[in-house]
Amino acid sequence: MVLSKDNLNFFESNLKDLKRLNLYRYLRIQNEFRDTNSSEDNLPFINFSTNDYLGLSKHENLLNLFSSSHFSSVSQCSSRLISGNTPLFEKLEEILSHHRHTESALIYPTGYMANIGTISCIANNQTTIFSDEFNHASIIDACRLSRAKIEVFLHNDMFDLENKIKKNDAKRKVIVTEGIFSMNGDMARLDVMSELSSKYGCILVVDDAHGDFVIGDKSQTDYGGTASYFKVENEVDVHISSLSKGLGCFGGYVACSDLLRNYLINKSRAFIFTSALPDIFCELAYKAVLLANMGDRQKKLHKNLKYFEEQSKNYTLPGLRFTEDSPIIPLVLGSEEKSLSISDSLLKKGYFVQPIRYPTVKRNEAQLRISISAIHTSKQISGLLSTLDSLLK
């Protein structure tokens, strides 16, 4: 590759700036990290940065499916509309729509693409989208792609949201939020938001990548995510989620009405113009849903969360931000430099917690994003807390 001097300068100076600001990113090799379910305490790293909240990605039934695979091809090598559709999609979509209490569901290759494909398709230049200021990058990108007017409301501030809706005279209005926020770990006020949505005739879209199958109604028998936590499943018009977090698999999906599903099949470019999710991932996700529906892993996760909270009271960690029942616990440190150095020191002591910096969070609001899984042990959790305490003293 021969780049002109100007082009070289452009890339190099941008990367230099990121380094100067402590915002440079590089890829770590994943098997540096010790499995959360490892029983061998002498192995070097415990992963507290996973989205595998239920530990299903390591479930032996799912791993066995890989090795004993009865699939006749690696991939369908086609989009679903051309020759990539198989009965496994329909089977998975049926169980997911049942899980979400919707008429139907539609699989996308990833959660990122589910957001891009859905939001950019249901909104257009006649629409205003009201988007929480902390929404995930895939939601932000999707909003931009739709060419709608975008009104960003203050994080979880229902007064600001209502004011903005009231003042807006767009023909069509869409409210979009995460369920459990991916970095803050707190929950969208879906109880209020669903009321506002119906009062002002909006479409309510909830991306619950981190709450789906993890939390549910307070009786903890239905893990339908943040919407079921607030008992507003039927008020949410479009549920979006990832298969690679609570379910420990890979892929994304939308749960909605039959009408909307047909609309997406016909209009959603991120659905139409890309290869279908390989069959094996549909089968894996289907099996993962059955395992998740047993509910035992969520109970273990919630026990771990309670244990984390109780143990943390033994230390002074003022940056810790708990949300009851949420598996994401940020430790806000502020400075990017500090977040990098504490994360590095933790890693040396055997705990991997990724520092989260701008643009994922605001400048000078860097944090360590601690995520808890059902397969963490009490010893691992208390070890992390006491190590953090000693590093922050």
Ligand X SMILES: Cc1ncc(COP(=O)(O)O)c(C=O)c1O
Handedness of CA 338, 48, 242, 307 (dihedral sign): negative
Q: How far apart are CA 288 and CA 59, in angstroms?
A: 9
Site for ligand X in 108-127 (CB under 6 A): 110-112, 115
Contact with ligand X (CB under 6 A) among 120, 244, 339, 371: 244
Cβ nearer to ligand X, comparing 55 with 251: 251
| CB distance 166 to 201 below 8 Å | no
Contact with ligand X (CB under 6 A) among 102, 104, 242, 371: 242
Cβ nearer to ligand X, comparing 111 with 185: 111
* Closest distance to ligand X from the beta carbon of 7 (Å): 30
Residues 6+ apart with CB under 8 A from 291: 56, 59, 61, 62, 297
How long, in residues, is the chain? Answer: 393
Cβ nearer to ligand X, comparing 146 with 182: 182
Cβ nearer to ligand X, comparing 162 with 178: 178
128 in helix, strand or coil? strand
Bridge partners for 356 per DSSP: 367
Q: How far apart are CA 242 and CA 113, in angstroms?
A: 10
Cβ nearer to ligand X, comparing 110 with 312: 110
* Closest distance to ligand X from the beta carbon of 389 (Å): 28
Contact with ligand X (CB under 6 A) among 156, 177, 182, 226: 182
Count of residues of this chain found to bind ligand X when the rule CB under 6 A is applied? 13
Q: Measured over all CA atoms, what is the biggest interatomic distance in the chain, rounded to whole angstroms?
A: 63
Cβ nearer to ligand X, comparing 179 with 216: 179
Q: How far apart are CA 353 and CA 339, in angstroms?
A: 10
The phi and psi torsions of 46 (rounded to 5 degrees) equal -110, 130
* Closest distance to ligand X from the beta carbon of 16 (Å): 28
Contact with ligand X (CB under 6 A) among 132, 151, 178, 365: 178
240 in helix, strand or coil? strand
Cβ nearer to ligand X, comparing 216 with 251: 251
Cβ nearer to ligand X, comparing 170 with 204: 204
Q: Which residue is nearest to ligand X (CB)?
A: 111
DSSP tag of 217 = S
Cβ nearer to ligand X, comparing 186 with 207: 207
One-character DSSP codes across 267-286 = H-HHHHTSPPPPHHHHHHHH
Q: Does the protein bind ligand X through residue 138 (CB under 6 A)?
A: yes
* Closest distance to ligand X from the beta carbon of 211 (Å): 9
SS3 content of the chain, % helix, strand, coil (to 5): 45, 15, 40
x/- mask, ligand X, residues 50-89, rule CB under 6 A, reads ----------------------------------------
- Which helix or strand (DSSP H or E) is residue 303 part of? helix 296-312
* Closest distance to ligand X from the beta carbon of 348 (Å): 26
Q: How far apart are CA 296 and CA 320, in angstroms?
A: 27
* Closest distance to ligand X from the beta carbon of 57 (Å): 13
Span from 6-14, 107-115, 358-366, 383-391 in contact with ligand X (CB under 6 A): 107-115
Q: How far apart are CA 147 and CA 203, in angstroms?
A: 17
Cβ nearer to ligand X, comparing 115 with 343: 115
Site for ligand X in 338-367 (CB under 6 A): none
* Closest distance to ligand X from the beta carbon of 112 (Å): 4
* Closest distance to ligand X from the beta carbon of 2 (Å): 34
| CB distance 177 to 197 below 8 Å | no
* Closest distance to ligand X from the beta carbon of 114 (Å): 7
Residues 6+ apart with CB under 8 A from 348: none
Site for ligand X in 203-222 (CB under 6 A): 207, 209
Print the SS3 string covering 302-365.
HHHHHHHHHHHCCCCCCCECCCCCCCEEEEEEECHHHHHHHHHHHHHCCEECCEECCCCCCCCC
Q: Which residues bind ligand X (CB under 6 A)?
A: 110-112, 115, 136, 138, 178, 182, 207, 209, 242, 244, 252
